[in-house]
Amino acid sequence: MANLRDCPRLEDGLGLAARVVSDLAELLGRGKPVLMGFLEAYMDESRSQNPERVLTVAGYIGEREDWIALSGAWQAVLDAEEIKAFHATDAESLKGEFSGWTRDRQQALTRKLTELVRKVPVIGFASSLYLGTGQPRSPTAEAFADHSYVTALFDCVTELAHLGGAYIGMEQEIAFVMEDNEAWSYRLGQAFLEMKRVPEFVERKRLSETLTLGSRPKFKPLQVADFLAFESMKSVENILTRPELEPRKSLRLLALNQRTFVSMRSVFDLERAMPVKVSQWIDANYRSKKTRKEKKAMRASGRASLR
């Protein structure tokens, strides 16, 4: 996979694929009004433990002032716990900076962080794709992964742009930020520019010139997006593999922000799924009065179509 730094411009001459920003203050510095979206992606590759593969791209969009406020509050919580960054996978498994923590301490931190997200009027969206029970290693495997990633990214960017316009306003430019990833940065920059040429994407003219890339440890909004992406992915996996379980506590807490939406579909579905509020999604998938047997039957049908 081409690296952004090795291939800074697209072959078709459309321009710079993406730009790397090293400092959040530089990104959030004063300038013209702009909506800022921060995106993260998750796919669990541990197929031996969970053969149902799910890819999720999720993020939040909001105004610059809200991101400044949330970043400061988020950092204060991390400082109080003496950790450098919140990484949802490490928090879930009590590894990395969370090694030695008790589950009660981890859950208390989760509650504090979700409360911050609830108080700030940012808008969240998670796009989850069911990829099947694992793709065989073959020359087409990389192309399949590329297609799936770009599909979920397109769903997430277009929905966040639409929701940002509906909830906040249709005038501001929209800038999207993703984690700087050596393997995917260049391709994601390409995909971003390709989106700007899709006639059906009404908000495409409001997108910034390029995709922005940054460091998750330094960019607190990317940690917020990481949280939503991870919780959404794990919740979809549970629906597919263990539908009798109760909804994840962290997802329920994130659902307290009534501006958080989710969609779920199979990568093989040609039509996109309509976004729904996370709270409604939980109701539809968990809080029914179905018996355990009925839920298992629902799991089987859900594999065919995740609408």
Contacts of residue 49, defined as CB under 8 A and 6 or more positions apart, other chains included, come to: none
Q: Determine the straight-line distance between the first and last CA of the chain, rounded to whole angstroms.
A: 32
Share of the chain above pLDDT 70, in %: 72
pLDDT-derived band at 200, boundaries 50, 70, 90: confident
Mean pLDDT of 274-282: 77
Neighbours of 210 (CB within 10 A): 18
Mean pLDDT of 111-124: 92
Cβ-in-10-Å burial (0-12, 13-18, 19+) of 103 comes to: exposed
What is the DSSP annotation of 220-250?
HHHHHHHHHHHHHHHHHHHHHH-TTSPPPHH
Residue 40, φ and ψ in degrees, nearest 5: -140, 160
pLDDT-derived band at 184, boundaries 50, 70, 90: confident
By the 8 A CB rule, do 229 and 37 touch?
A: no
**Given this model, what pLDDT does residue 305 score?**
44
Instruction: Reply yes or no on whether the pLDDT at 46 is more than 60.
Output: no
Using alpha carbons, list the distances in angstroms from residue 265 to 121, 126, 148, 218, 241: 27, 11, 12, 32, 15
CATH numeric code, 18-304: 3.30.420.10
Helix 220-241, helix 103-119: angle, nearest 10: 110
Mean pLDDT of 191-216: 85
What is the DSSP annotation of 61-76?
EEEHHHHHHHHHHHHH
Candidates 235, 232, 227, 233; CA nearest to 286 is 235
pLDDT-derived band at 286, boundaries 50, 70, 90: low
Instruction: Reply yes or no on whether the pLDDT at 110 is more than 50.
Output: yes
Instruction: Reply yes or no on whether the pLDDT at 234 is more than 60.
Output: yes
**In angstroms, rounded to a whole number, what is the distance separating the alpha carbons of residues 306 and 264?**
6
Share of the chain above pLDDT 90, in %: 26
**Given this model, what pLDDT does residue 300 score?**
55
Give pLDDT tens digits for 18-43.
666 666 666 666 566 678 899 888 77
pLDDT-derived band at 8, boundaries 50, 70, 90: very low
**Given this model, what pLDDT does residue 307 score?**
39
Instruction: List residues bridging with 263 in a β-sheet.
Output: 127
Give pLDDT tens digits for 120-167.
999 999 998 887 765 544 445 555 566 788 888 888 999 999 999 888
pTM of the model: 0.82
By the 8 A CB rule, do 240 and 299 touch?
A: yes
Instruction: Report DSSP state, residue 182.
Output: T
**Given this model, what pLDDT does residue 6 score?**
35
**In angstroms, rounded to a whole number, what is the distance separating the alpha carbons of residues 117 and 275?**
20
**Given this model, what pLDDT does residue 32 score?**
63
Mean pLDDT of 187-213: 85
By the 8 A CB rule, do 231 and 262 touch?
A: no
**Given this model, what pLDDT does residue 3 score?**
33
Instruction: Reply yes or no on whether the pLDDT at 73 is more than 70.
Output: yes
Q: What mean pLDDT value characterizes the chain?
A: 77
* Chain center to CA of 299: 24
SS3 assignment, position 46: coil
pLDDT-derived band at 15, boundaries 50, 70, 90: very low
